[in-house]
Structure 1
């Protein structure tokens, strides 16, 4: 049931972005981070391969103008919309668990305006 709810809210997030004219970067960012929800929400013991490859894509997006801020805001919005409480230690360990060095900070207390 939590997975179904997460899927539904994910599509609402994506559709809502398109309707409000929000940048397509958030749609892409949400799509890349979505496979990580089961791990950071505590539903799976390790991140899925799609999660790790999505983090690599998010890393590439940070090179775009205002990329890190957009990605941060996207992840924050996804956490709010999916209503899945992210486990702080899992969010913090994502880069290590995926064997990736992120060029942007990731935590449950991110400040997207920095």
Structure 2
């Protein structure tokens, strides 16, 4: 029951973030923050510590983002800003070490932004 309530709460929080972000203009025309959020929906159980490892869909989505970020610094910076907003908006907060773990577990080339004070424009 607790797991279902937590999952419902997380889903509602993600829908709220999607709604807010879909009404704002993207910093970079190639980056659509709601699409980035949708890709990370599959990682929610791992980021909140419900499962010990990210599932295959989470890694596949993270790798797809990783490929676009590797292609362009502008996309990397825009995705960084988007992911920072996502991570900072969750209540309860996500486990930042889990977010960082996605980089190594899913074999990403680009580190996910987990430090709230990270300046994405310096990437």
Structure 2 alignment gaps of length 5 or more: none
Partner in structure 2 of residue 53 of structure 1 = 60
Structure 1 alignment gaps of length 5 or more: none
The count of residues paired between Structure 1 and Structure 2 equals: 112
Question: Where in structure 2 are the equivalents of 1:29-68 lying within 5 Å?
Answer: 29-62=36-69, 63-64=71-72, 66-68=74-76
Do the aligned partners of 1:40 and 1:87 also contact (CA within 8 Å) in 2?
yes
Q: When the two structures are superposed, what TM-score results if normalisation uses the length of structure 2?
A: 0.76
2:96 paired with 1:105: no
Distance change (3 Å), C-alpha of 1:9 and 1:86:
closer
Q: Pairwise CA RMSD of aligned residues?
A: 2.1
In 1, the alpha carbon distance for the partners of 2:13 and 2:94 equals 15
Do the aligned partners of 1:5 and 1:82 also contact (CA within 8 Å) in 2?
no
Structure 1 position 81, deviation (Å): 2.4
Distance change (3 Å), C-alpha of 1:53 and 1:84:
farther
Distance change (3 Å), C-alpha of 1:84 and 1:66:
farther
The structure with the larger Rg is: 2
Q: When the two structures are superposed, what TM-score results if normalisation uses the length of structure 1?
A: 0.81
Which stretch shows the higher mean deviation, 31-40 or 83-92?
A: 83-92
2:26 paired with 1:22: yes
Question: Where in structure 2 are the equivalents of 1:66-77 lying within 5 Å?
Answer: 66-77=74-85
Do the aligned partners of 2:42 and 2:55 also contact (CA within 8 Å) in 1?
yes
Structure 1 position 58, deviation (Å): 0.8
